[in-house]
């Protein structure tokens, strides 16, 4: 951490198996005004291991925001969401579902599992970039988040 910087970069966990989307998200966050560190895992099991500091993620940071895709290998995004929201500590971390699905049952199920918000990935580049920037602006700059407690 260099001198003069008031805040450490905001830690974000992106659970996404599509390398293209990972890259686009990184591009969008780079253009944003909040300095953040994007941690990426590619499946549901890895996401929970990361959050619980298990195995290779023993020294992983506690993220302040989780961007979660629904259709994931090994453990589905819905299961990951359910486990996070059942965990007394993890449930305070805001989870944004960012998925290509705009199917009503998926949306309903996500909110039933206490997702903090549900966003459908826009097909157009400009819209995608602006959506990620909006998430950045809202969740990392505007919203007051709970104090960070290491589980």
Partner 1 sequence: VIAVHADNLTRDDGPVDAPSFASAILNILDDSALETARLADTQRAILNILDDSALETARLADTQRAILNILEDVAGETARLEDTQRAVLNILEDSAQETAQLAETQRAMLNILEDVDVERKKVEQAKAAAEAVSADLSRQTQELARSNRDLEQFAYVASHDLQEPLRMVSSFTELLGRRYKGKLDAEADEFIGFAVDAAARMGSMINDLLAYARLGSGERQVGSVNCRSVLAQVLVNLEAVIEENRAQVTSDSLPTLTANETELTQLLQNLVSNAIKFRTERPPVVHVSAARVGAEWRFAVRDSGIGIAPEHMDRIFVIFQRLNPRDRYSGTGIGLAICKKIVERHGGRIWVESTCGGGSTFFFTIPEREDATR
Query: Cβ 24 to partner 1, closest distance in Å?
Result: 6
DSSP state of 43: S
The helix (run of H) or strand (run of E) holding residue 21 is: helix 19-31
Site for partner 1 in 100-129 (CB under 8 A): 100-101, 121, 123-126, 128
- Residue 44 CB, shortest distance to partner 1, in Å, is 18
Angle at 115 between CA 81 and CA 111, to 5 degrees: 110
Stretch that binds partner 1, among 7-15, 19-27, 78-86, 133-141 (CB under 8 A): 19-27
From residue 21 to residue 50, the character string flagging contacts with partner 1 as x (rule: CB under 8 A) and all else as - is x--x--x-----------------------
- Member of 1, 3, 20, 105 binding partner 1 (CB under 8 A): 20
What is the DSSP-derived secondary structure letter of residue 92? G
Site size toward partner 1 (CB under 8 A) is 14
Taking the least distance from each CB to partner 1, the nearer of 8 and 103 is 103
119: left (phi over 0), alpha (psi -120 to 50) or beta: beta
Stretch that binds partner 1, among 20-28, 77-85, 110-118, 133-141 (CB under 8 A): 20-28
Q: Whole-number minimum distance, CB 120 to partner 1, in Å? A: 11
Q: Rounded CA gap, 72 and 52, in Å?
A: 19
Site residues, partner 1 (CB under 8 A): 18, 20-21, 24, 27, 71, 100-101, 121, 123-126, 128
């Amino acid at each position: 951490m260099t001198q003069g910087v008031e805040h450490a970069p905001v830690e974000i966990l992106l659970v996404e198996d599509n390398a293209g989307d990972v890259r686009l998200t990184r591009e969008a966050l780079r253009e944003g005004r909040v300095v953040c560190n994007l941690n990426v895992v590619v499946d549901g099991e890895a996401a929970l291991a990361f959050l619980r500091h298990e195995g290779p993620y023993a020294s992983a940071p506690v993220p302040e925001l989780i961007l979660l895709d629904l259709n994931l290998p090994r453990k589905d995004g819905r299961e990951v969401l359910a486990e996070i929201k059942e965990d007394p500590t993890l449930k305070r971390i805001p989870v944004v579902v960012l998925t290509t699905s705009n199917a009503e049952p998926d949306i309903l199920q996500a909110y039933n599992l206490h997702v903090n918000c549900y966003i459908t990935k826009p097909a157009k580049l400009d819209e995608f970039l602006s959506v990620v920037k909006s998430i950045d602006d809202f969740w990392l700059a505007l919203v007051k988040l709970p104090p960070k407690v290491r589980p």
